[in-house]
Amino acid sequence: LEMSPEIAGMSLFISCAFLTFVAKSIRKSCKHSKNFKTANNTLPSQKQEEMIIEYKSVLNRLIENDTRPQSPSAKLMSRHDATGDVIFQKRKTFFRSVLDRCGIKHSCKIIHVAGTKGKGSTVEYISSGLIGSGSNVGIFSSPHLHTARERLKIGREIISIEDLIRIGKKTLALFEDCNWSYVMFDKMVTLALHYFGERDIEYMVLETGIGGRYDSTNFAESVAACVITSISLDHQALLGNTLEEIAWQKAGIIKKGSHVFTSANQKECVLDVIRKQCTSLDAILHIIDSDRSSLDGLELHTPYKVQVENACLAGAVLRHLDVSCNGMKNFYWPCRMEAFHLTTATDSLVVLDGCHNEDSVVHFLEGLQDRYPSRKVLTMFGAGDEKCVQEMLLQVVQRSHSVVLLRSKHMRAVPEMFLWNSISEESKGMVLQLTDKETTTIAEKMTLLLDDLTTKGTTGDYVVAICGSLFVASEARECLYRMDPTLFDPKDWVTQSDY
């Protein structure tokens, strides 16, 4: 299966556009460094403030994309033909060189995870099991919610500001003479390898970015396990318009002779692509049933079917590694079916999820209906303009009692009017107009809605679902923190926001 160069060539262009937005956000936050709080939510001292300014300066440089005129074009870098393969091999050689020199032991076992949805949760379940067994684990994941430091963890701890400054400078120096075009993701992978090399890790759990076959994390020649989570239509402009094309991209992480784990719930056409890739590389395929009984005795909180699927997949990987699954009970992954019971509004329930395609929206809202049958679902929805917005909105209106339209601060966020025009005339009556203002932030709309439900005494009648993208969910999470900080652990990432 191959994608046209024209479609594939958009990959780096869109990544660059997104990262330009993030860079602008970081630059803006640098101007207001006095608003930055330390991990214990106190204002920083002068020395800490100087460190924060340096941190944001380094982070800004890490976020910036390669703008050298001599660099290969985005289209060339993403092409899935002979030219594109040459450029990808240059990048792979670079990361192999970093891996060989960064200090990570050859005995370190790598678990590589790709998929459309559930890969972050599966990474967290696997990592929780490994950490619970006493292993020293390096974890690389993306995107982040509140701080870029979330992407790099040793066990439960995100990289410190001091370490990101120090290793970030070393990373930036390595990219000064690169002969291939690069983006933030490449630099963060490099930073992660150096950070893990200093920490004597026994396991490295890597989550791919978009795709897998041409991903910057796809540098290892051998791995302890390849994991492919649920595959559905998403990022079609980058990965292809069919499930088979997308599956071909994800299956690109499979290594010769490796053990490959995927769910029996995959569509048959997806399984066919994975089987074909395994056969061509003499890889051993493990197709895992989503059987809740296999999780008995683990004390897992998995009220939703999709959580069971991810947990079963992770459990199979851990058993293959001869590692106890008991640590999975310490699973923690924000903005994934994350529920908050607000003390400021009687019996109010807010659930956040970063679902960002049609299939994941269905799983999320159906899960809420099963979990809270006595409550009506009131959905607050916003999305990015590269997503299947109309398809997602159709599922939202079919599975919600009422709807509030949102627009996040992200530069690719869809305007509320576009969302409104995407809803059928017969369903427009479901949309709540909370204010006459033309532009309203997520925080303002959340406050208006919860105040209105409290005034009417109807908070207990609803579960407020906030979804459509991780950017929407993370903004909502920060709003909840401002409403009631006691909802969060003092070390929660929301207390260490870059913005």
Q: Binning pLDDT at 50, 70 and 90, where does residue 44 land?
A: low
State how far the Cα of 123 lies from the Cα of 139, in Å rounded to an integer: 8
Per-residue pLDDT at 11 exceeds 50: no
Q: Residue range 435-450: average pLDDT?
A: 89
Q: How far apart are CA 400 and CA 152, in angstroms?
A: 37
- pLDDT higher at 386 or 293: 293
Q: Are the beta carbons of 63 and 26 closer than 8 angstroms?
A: yes
What's the CA gap between 255 and 222, in Å, rounded? 6
Query: 175-223: per-residue pLDDT in tens?
Result: 988 878 888 999 999 999 999 999 999 999 999 998 899 999 999 999 9
- Summarised one tens digit per residue, pLDDT across range 296-316 is 888 888 878 888 999 999 999
pLDDT confidence band for 412 (50 / 70 / 90): confident
Q: What is the three-state SS of the chain?
A: CCCCHHHHCHHHHHHHHHHHHHHHHHHHHHCCHHHCCCCCCCCCCHHHHHHHHHHHHHHHHHHCCCCCCCCCCHHHHHCCCHHHHHHHHHHHHHHHHHHHHCCCCCCCEEEEEECCCCHHHHHHHHHHHHHHCCCCEEEECCCCCCCHHHHEEECCEECCHHHHHHHHHHHHHHCCCCCCCCCHHHHHHHHHHHHHHHCCCCEEEEECCCCCCCCCCCCCCCCCEEEECCCCCCCHHHHCCCHHHHHHHHHHHCCCCCEEEEECCCCHHHHHHHHHHHHHCCCEEEEECCCHHHHCCCCCCCCCHHHHHHHHHHHHHHHHCCCCCHHHHHCCCCCCCEEEEECCCCCEEEEECCCCCHHHHHHHHHHHHHHCCCCEEEEEECCECCCCHHHHHHHHHHCCCEEEECCCCCCCECCHHHHHHCCCHHHHHHECCCCCCCCCCHHHHHHHHHHHHHHHCCHHHEEEEEECCHHHHHHHHHHHHHHCHHHCCCCCHHHHCCC
Query: Is the per-residue pLDDT at 10 higher than 50?
Result: no
Number of Cβ within 10 Å of residue 489's Cβ equals: 10
Q: What is the pLDDT of residues 140-150, one digit of tens each?
A: 999 999 999 99
| Cα 470 to Cα 18: distance, rounded to the nearest angstrom | 14
10 Å Cβ neighbour count for 268?
A: 7
Six token digits for residue 382? 């916003």
